[in-house]
Amino acid sequence: MHISVLLEESIKYLNLKKNSIIVDATLGYGGHSQRILEKIPEGFLYAFDQDKEAIKEANKKLEKTGSNYEIIYSNFKNLKEELGKRNVLVDGFLFDLGVSSPQLDNAERGFSFHKDANLDMRMDRNNPLTAYEVVNNYSLEELTNIFYKYGEEKYAKSIAKGIVLERANKKIETTLELAEIIKNNVPEKYRKKGHPARKVFQAIRIEVNDELNVLEIALKDALKLLKPGGRICVITFHSLEDKICKRIFREVSEIPKELEKLPVIPDALKPKFKVITNVKPSDDEIENNIRARSSRLRVIERV
């Protein structure tokens, strides 16, 4: 089961009206979308996901709540194109990033270093790039880079070397084989600080799903598609996602340095957006849902 993170807070900050046009960029198992739908009986919800299994389950939930919605099976990097086709401007976007609990718990998807499975990690099973490809075919330099960049893993090089050495004998097929190689290529004392495979698995998942690039594209497009008074709520789960969101929000909401010295800033040059808030989950929420631990909600509004 998936417990929606920062649910009350994101619903509150979306500022929903009866007739709001809302985009849930990450439908998942429909927890947020269902709540949204309840609050917009005269509006419309467009919900994106790139995982057909999630869409099937979410649709069962949404059907019970209303019919004023459309599920779009697509990566949210295509939101400008998809919403353009439908000719819509939007009152609120929600991004609840990363993978859902069912994706993590379904061993077969290959996201978890606790469960034995083929190396996969694709959110969209039509994506040609799998974790197997990355682990077995990327060069030593490429592996080192993604472990540093997307995993912030300080033993990136030694883990990458370990992988290259192992795969010279035999292809690395499964999550547990990979987790074992990672464990064997970090110092003993490092193994005690949480599971040593966590960061590398995160890095491979980001690479396979191109998570940071698509986030950047989608957030910039969402800003353009927002009506005045409309808001974007983004729930991030690690510092790399959060930094991208923070930077993009700052770029569009701050007065450029070169204008700061002007006695009066002309309206046309004033920022078109204002940052509303930046919220962390309560202790209670973290206690009930460990997945919420690293989450953060950022909200911006078109003025």
Ligand X SMILES: C[S@@+](CC[C@H](N)C(=O)[O-])C[C@H]1O[C@@H](n2cnc3c(N)ncnc32)[C@H](O)[C@@H]1O
Q: By the criterion CB under 6 A, which residues form the site for ligand X?
A: 2, 4, 26, 28-32, 48-51, 54, 75-77, 96, 98-100, 123, 214
The whole-angstrom separation of Cα 39 and Cα 21 is: 11
The distance of closest approach from Cβ of residue 26 to ligand X in the complex, given in angstroms and rounded to an integer, is 3
The distance of closest approach from Cβ of residue 252 to ligand X in the complex, given in angstroms and rounded to an integer, is 21
Nearer to ligand X, 46 or 48 (CB): 48
The distance of closest approach from Cβ of residue 117 to ligand X in the complex, given in angstroms and rounded to an integer, is 17
User: Which strands sit side by side in the sheet containing 226-236, from one edge to the other?
Assistant: 69-73, 44-49, 21-24, 90-96, 226-236, 296-302, 273-279
The distance of closest approach from Cβ of residue 99 to ligand X in the complex, given in angstroms and rounded to an integer, is 6
The distance of closest approach from Cβ of residue 180 to ligand X in the complex, given in angstroms and rounded to an integer, is 27
Q: Which residue is closest to ligand X by CB?
A: 28
The distance of closest approach from Cβ of residue 301 to ligand X in the complex, given in angstroms and rounded to an integer, is 21
List, in sequence order, the alpha helices (H) in the chain: 7-13, 31-39, 52-63, 79-85, 101-105, 131-137, 140-151, 156-169, 175-184, 198-209, 211-225, 239-253, 283-288
Nearer to ligand X, 88 or 212 (CB): 212
Nearer to ligand X, 95 or 155 (CB): 95
3-state secondary structure of 67: coil
Nearer to ligand X, 4 or 144 (CB): 4
Nearer to ligand X, 100 or 175 (CB): 100
Helix axes 31-39, 52-63, angle to 10 degrees: 30
Question: In this structure, how many other beta carbons lie within 10 angstroms of the beta carbon of residue 277?
Answer: 13
The whole-angstrom separation of Cα 111 and Cα 198 is: 10
Nearer to ligand X, 73 or 253 (CB): 73
Q: Which residue has the tokens 């919403």?
A: 83
Q: Which residue has the tokens 């990327």?
A: 138
